[in-house]
Amino acid sequence: MSMNQPTHQVAVDRREETVVTQQPGYAATEQVTRDVAAERRQALFQVTRIVWSFLVLLEVLLGLRFVLKLIAANPDSGFAAFMYGITGLFIAPFAGLIGTPTSGGTILEVTTLIAMAIYALIFWGIVSVIRIVADRPIARTVTRSVREQLSGTGAERTTRTTRSG
């Protein structure tokens, strides 16, 4: 004789709690459902928003540098010197990668465009790794127990299988 006995477990990503308050002439029931998976996805979303915000800020700064060089802005002015100083750190790894065409005072700084593309790829990779490491789309465990009555001997055999997926 074979008998399946399913074991019901509460999903690890959803926690429910029921609170009943009773007083004479008053009864209140409050059911609180906490979706742990949604909270984790929301935290992951916040982290990726911060990473993308840093990329946008970097891209804007590098874009301003590119435009200032292109319009031949006076490098001795306060704003241009400030922009070149901040962005110089991010452009340094690409310095000398290719030639920089100039015409009069105008400079077409292609290395800045290359840096912008490379940083976008790096940040995209960082966000992808964060999503792969932190995201758990399915966090469910199914446990199945099987109890068998062995014929003739009167002995029982119990098998328990746990599967996560």
Tens digits of residue pLDDT in 124-165: 999 999 888 887 655 555 566 555 556 666 666 666 666 654
Q: Looking at the predicted structure, is the pLDDT value of residue 35 above 90?
A: no
Question: 19 by DSSP, 3-state: which?
Answer: strand
What confidence score (pLDDT) does residue 50 get? 96
Higher model confidence: residue 78 or residue 2?
Answer: 78
pLDDT winner (highest mean) among 51-55, 94-98, 132-136, 137-141: 51-55
Closest CA to 5 of 158, 163, 164: 158
CA distance 36 to 48: 18
Average pLDDT over residues 67-73: 95
Question: 114 by DSSP, 3-state: which?
Answer: helix
What confidence score (pLDDT) does residue 7 get? 42
What confidence score (pLDDT) does residue 104 get? 85
User: Which amino acid is residue 89, in one-letter code?
Assistant: L
The strand order across the sheet containing 2-7 reads 2-7, 141-149, 156-164
> What total number of domains does the chain contain?
1
Full domain range(s) for residue 114: 2-164
